[in-house]
């Protein structure tokens, strides 16, 4: 990690001192930075798969991989080597060029997100003024890869799986973007580094907990993690959009999915958990890597435990949850937060300096607004649940349904 | 004259993307390939926005247009009989379309050339405006009552109406 510690300005100076022309030195450092930022996720994914398998094993009271290397650490390496040696099959009638293009897009769209992630106050690929929008734009390309993978495989099930996946990804993009609007409104900037700097006094998870939860749920769906892992459904569409892929191309889809899940946790840590902020980070910026890593890991661990504990939802429940609950709540959240932000500005309670005490009044007001939203939602859920139970009881009394059948029919949100 | 630097190279690359992609869209007989050419063409346009220091529009271009290509493919699959072997490249209205497209091209070209090289035009070595507007300026202009608040609100109303219309049409009559 020593190259990373040396900030980009330093590298240029080192090179020009060694007799390289400034233009070439700039180009070299940019290329070096790109290679570095793109390689880190590739290395990380090997360990992520190991962590995921270990955590899932612990939750299910198993041991997990423990044969290859210490604690089974090298199991993923062995798996990757096995994948490389598998036969690479292209189905007859496949559209060869786009069939081969899809896995590349799948991986590239995830790695591109890493370009705007601020790891420390100094280390960021590119601090764009539209960093957050860049993330949303790059993530939206992800739908294309699924569609062309599903189409070019020349397989009905792949195409059906792709259609279903598109429906899921596009639906959950709405609450995702609406929940990202909240931090942008509070910070007044879309730059990732600006968002992290604005959280110096208070993390946004305390100012906008509803938005943070929305972002987490929408990201679970966007990355296709349980309970929203409908991208693959063996009993319904055999395997989903990547059914015809084998060997390394399939491996790229799989690694892309793992990376995406981790990147989502990383973004949650950056946008809602204060990014690289932590004790002493202003004196020693390198500590940012540690703090961001810890925060990311907490979010990631939570999603892993969730993945191995909850059952999956049905496709109609998935859509109902999004359009009947997440989208209205997100819209209400945007309205309430915008109103409260203007209110605090009018009352003169908006933070002037970036410390904890200055951010406190605004946080309390926003927190109360969030609490109101949560109370309304909980009340709605309770009423709908009660009405459903009473309707079911009425049908029971009339028809005489058994208890089991009623449970099977009574899906939430209907 | 034309300076040969990184920006010029980027401009040429984006222009090739944009024009080549557009040509590919109308000449290919495979609808999926046509949509992919469209991505290339739109990506070129996004690149122009970056070169013009308008990163917000570039990101929106990618988000709105390229992000919606998947939906376009879904519609293509659902609404056409043959995806990969389009028999007729031209339909009956091709002459009319060609005339309209030609007129539009001339009008747009004149709109670009006259302010720069025309009688009272600014010359090529001077930028049209010295003010560099950022994303914040764009946001303020959209809600400023002296600028674009009316078109902005009308567009939002139209989109809301379209959304409500879609919900009403998709609604199950039984419920």
B60 contacts chain A (CB < 8 A)? yes
pLDDT confidence tier of residue B118, bands split at 50, 70 and 90: low
Question: Quick check: is B63 in a domain?
Answer: yes
Collect all residues from A whose CB is shorter than 8 A from any CB in B.
Answer: 95, 98, 128-130, 133-134, 136-138, 140-141, 143-144, 146-148, 151-152, 159, 163, 166, 170, 190
Question: Quick check: is B112 in a domain?
Answer: no
- pLDDT exceeds 50 at position B85: yes
Q: Domain end: B55, B85, B115, which one?
A: B85
CATH number at B73 reads 1.20.120.1200
- pLDDT exceeds 90 at position A414: no
pLDDT of res. A290: 86
Cα–Cα distance between A188 and A222 in angstroms, integer? 26
CB contact under 8 A, A170 and B39: no
Q: Domain end: B24, B58, B85, which one?
A: B85
- pLDDT exceeds 50 at position A344: yes
The ipTM is 0.80
What pLDDT digit, counting tens, does each position of A259-310 carry? 888 889 999 999 898 888 878 777 777 888 888 888 898 999 888 888 888 8
B interface mutation test: which of A128, A140, A319 has the most B CBs within 10 A?
Answer: A140
Number of independent structural domains in chain B = 2
Are B75 and B14 within one domain? yes
Are B68 and B11 within one domain? yes
Question: Quick check: is B172 in a domain?
Answer: yes
- pLDDT exceeds 90 at position B157: yes
pLDDT confidence tier of residue A11, bands split at 50, 70 and 90: low
Are B4 and B76 within one domain? yes
- pLDDT exceeds 90 at position A32: no
What pLDDT digit, counting tens, does each position of A134-187 carry? 888 888 888 888 888 888 888 888 888 888 888 888 888 889 999 999 999 888
- pLDDT exceeds 90 at position A38: no
Q: Which percentage of chain A shows pLDDT scores above 70?
A: 91
pLDDT confidence tier of residue A26, bands split at 50, 70 and 90: confident
Domain limits for position B153:
134-175
pLDDT of res. B103: 95
Are B15 and B78 within one domain? yes
Question: Quick check: is B92 in a domain?
Answer: no
State the pTM of this model. 0.83
Q: Which of A125-129, A193-197, A388-392 has the lowest mean pLDDT?
A: A125-129
Q: Domain end: B85, B119, B147, which one?
A: B85
Of B32, B36, B63, the CB nearest to A140: B63
Question: Quick check: is B39 in a domain?
Answer: yes
Query: Which residues 113-132 in chain B show a CB within 8 A of chain A?
Result: none
Question: Quick check: is B102 in a domain?
Answer: no
């Amino acid at each position: 990690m020593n190259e990373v510690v040396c900030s980009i300005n330093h590298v240029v100076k080192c090179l020009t001192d060694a007799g390289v022309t400034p233009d070439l030195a700039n180009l070299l450092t940019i290329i070096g930075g790109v290679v570095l930022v793109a390689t880190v996720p590739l290395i990380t994914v090997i360990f992520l798969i190991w962590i995921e398998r270990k955590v899932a094993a612990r939750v299910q009271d198993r041991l997990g991989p423990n044969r290859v290397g210490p604690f089974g650490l090298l199991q993923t390496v062995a798996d990757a080597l096995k994948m490389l040696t598998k036969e690479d099959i292209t189905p007859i009638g496949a559209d060869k060029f786009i069939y081969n293009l899809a896995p590349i897009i799948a991986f590239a769209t995830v790695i591109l997100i890493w370009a705007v992630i601020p790891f420390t106050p100094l280390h960021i690929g590119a601090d764009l003024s539209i960093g957050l929008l860049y993330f949303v734009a790059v993530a939206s390309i992800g739908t294309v890869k699924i569609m062309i993978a599903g189409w070019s495989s020349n397989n009905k099930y792949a195409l059906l799986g792709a259609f279903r996946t598109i429906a899921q990804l596009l639906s959950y993009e709405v609450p995702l973007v609406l929940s990202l609007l909240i931090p942008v409104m509070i910070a007044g900037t879309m730059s990732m580094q600006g968002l992290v700097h604005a959280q110096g006094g208070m993390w946004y998870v305390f100012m906008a907990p509803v938005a943070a939860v929305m972002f987490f749920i929408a990201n679970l769906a966007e990355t296709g993690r349980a309970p929203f892992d409908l991208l693959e459904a063996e009993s319904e569409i055999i395997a989903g959009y990547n059914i015809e892929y084998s060997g390394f191309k399939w491996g790229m889809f799989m690694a892309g999915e793992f990376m995406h899940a981790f990147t989502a946790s990383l973004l949650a840590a950056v946008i809602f958990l204060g990014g690289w902020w932590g004790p002493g980070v202003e004196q020693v910026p390198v500590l940012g890597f540690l703090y961001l890593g810890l925060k990311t890991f907490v979010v990631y661990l939570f999603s892993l435990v969730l993945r191995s504990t909850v059952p999956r939802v049905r496709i109609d429940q998935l859509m109902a949850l999004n359009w009947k609950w997440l989208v209205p709540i997100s819209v209400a959240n945007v309205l309430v937060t915008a109103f409260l932000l203007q209110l605090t500005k009018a009352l003169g309670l908006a933070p002037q300096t970036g410390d904890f005490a200055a951010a406190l009044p605004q946080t309390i007001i926003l927190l109360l607004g969030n609490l109101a939203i949560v109370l309304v939602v909980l009340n709605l859920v309770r009423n709908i649940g009660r009405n459903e139970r009473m309707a079911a009881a009425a049908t029971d009394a009339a028809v005489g349904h058994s208890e089991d059948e009623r449970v099977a029919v009574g899906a939430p949100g209907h | 004259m034309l300076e040969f630097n990184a920006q010029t190279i980027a401009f040429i690359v984006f222009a090739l993307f944009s024009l080549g992609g557009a040509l590919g869209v109308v000449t290919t007989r495979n609808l999926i390939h046509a949509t992919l050419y469209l991505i290339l063409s739109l990506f070129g346009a996004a690149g122009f926005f970056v070169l013009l220091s308008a990163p917000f529009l570039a990101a929106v271009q990618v988000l709105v247009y390229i992000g919606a290509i998947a939906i376009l493919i879904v519609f293509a699959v659902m609404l056409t009989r043959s995806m990969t072997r389009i028999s007729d490249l031209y339909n009956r209205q091709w002459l009319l379309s060609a005339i309209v497209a030609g007129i539009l091209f001339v009008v747009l070209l004149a709109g670009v050339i006259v302010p720069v090289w025309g009688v009272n035009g600014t010359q090529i070595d001077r930028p049209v405006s010295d003010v560099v507007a950022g994303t914040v300026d764009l946001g303020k202009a959209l809600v400023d009552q002296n600028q674009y608040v009316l078109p902005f609100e009308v567009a939002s109303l139209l989109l809301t109406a379209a959304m409500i219309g879609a919900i009403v049409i998709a609604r199950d009559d039984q419920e």
